[in-house]
Structure 1
Amino acid sequence: MTTWIEACAADDIEQEDVIRFDHAGKTFAIYRSPDDEYFATDGLCTHEKIHLADGLVMDDIIECPKHNGRFSYKTGEARGAPVCINLRTYPVKLEGDRIMIGIGA
C-alpha cells in the first residue's frame, strides 16, 4: 500500500531544478521538469551516496555533483559512468499546490 507524504510546495522548485527532501531517516530528491511535471527519486547517488539535490538538472537528467554520473530522474535509469546502479523512483501527485510523494508498497 502506498503512503502519500507531503514533500513541499510546488513553487519551492524552479523549472528544471531539484530539491532535497528528508523523511523518516531517508533522503529523496524532488524534480520539476521543463514541462512543469514533478518527479521523485532516492536522494543519494548510487555510486558514492552524494546528495543529488546539489547536482545539475538538464532536461530529464540529474548529474551527480561529485563524479558527474547521470541518471534519468523520470525512470531512475543510470545514464553515464561512473554510475551503473539505477535510482529508485517514487510516484508524485499534486494536491492543490502541494507535492505529495508515494512511499511504501
Structure 2
Amino acid sequence: MAEWHDVAALTELSPGQVIEVIVGTEVVALANVAGQIFAIDGVCAHQGGPLGRGVLSREADGCRLTCPWHGWQYDPATGRQVLSQTIRQRVFPTRIAGDRIWVSVGAVSCSSQ
C-alpha cells in the first residue's frame, strides 16, 4: 500500500523550478513543469549528482532536468535519460492537497512514456 508524505508547500516550487527533498530514506527531486509536479530519484545515475539542484529547461521534445555535476539530462515525467533508452531514474507519484505537495515513495511509477 502506498504511503504518502507531505514534502513541500506549492509556494516553495514555482513553475520552472526544481528542489531537493528527503522522503523517508529517498533523495527526491521535485520539478514544477508548467504547473505539473513531478518527483524523480534525486541521485543522478552517472556519478550521484544532486538532480534537485539541477536546472529545468524547455526543449522542442519536452522538458529536461539537467544534473549540475556533469550535464546528464532526464525527462522529469518518465525518468528516462535523454540519450539512452535503457537508463531511467525512478519516478514517484505526486498529488496536491490544498497548498501542499505529497509524494509516495512506496509506489514507484513504471511509466512507459
- Common fold: TM-score over 0.5: yes
> Percent of aligned positions with the same letter in both sequences?
27
Residue 61 (structure 1) aligned with residue 103 (structure 2): no
Structure 2 length as normaliser, TM-score? 0.84
Residue 3 (structure 1) aligned with residue 3 (structure 2): yes
What whole-Å deviation, never above 9, does each CA across 1:43-93 have from its counterpart, x for those lacking one? Answer: 110110110122110132100111111000000011037xx6211000000
Q: Distance in 1 between matches of 2:105 and 2:20?
A: 16
Q: CA RMSD in A?
A: 1.4
Residue 70 (structure 1) aligned with residue 69 (structure 2): no
Give 1 or 2: higher strand fraction: 1
- Letter aligned with residue 43 of structure 1: G
Residue 96 (structure 1) aligned with residue 98 (structure 2): yes
Figure out how many residues of one structure are paired with residues of the other and give that number: 102
Structure 1 length as normaliser, TM-score? 0.90
What whole-Å deviation, never above 9, does each CA across 1:7-43 have from its counterpart, x for those lacking one? Answer: 1001101211100001333210101012x01010111
Q: Distance in 2 between matches of 1:80 and 1:64?
A: 14
Name stretches of at least 5 consecutive residues in structure 2 with no aligned partner.
108-113
Name stretches of at least 5 consecutive residues in structure 1 with no aligned partner.
none
Does the Cα contact within 8 Å between 1:16 and 1:31 map onto a contact in 2? Answer: yes
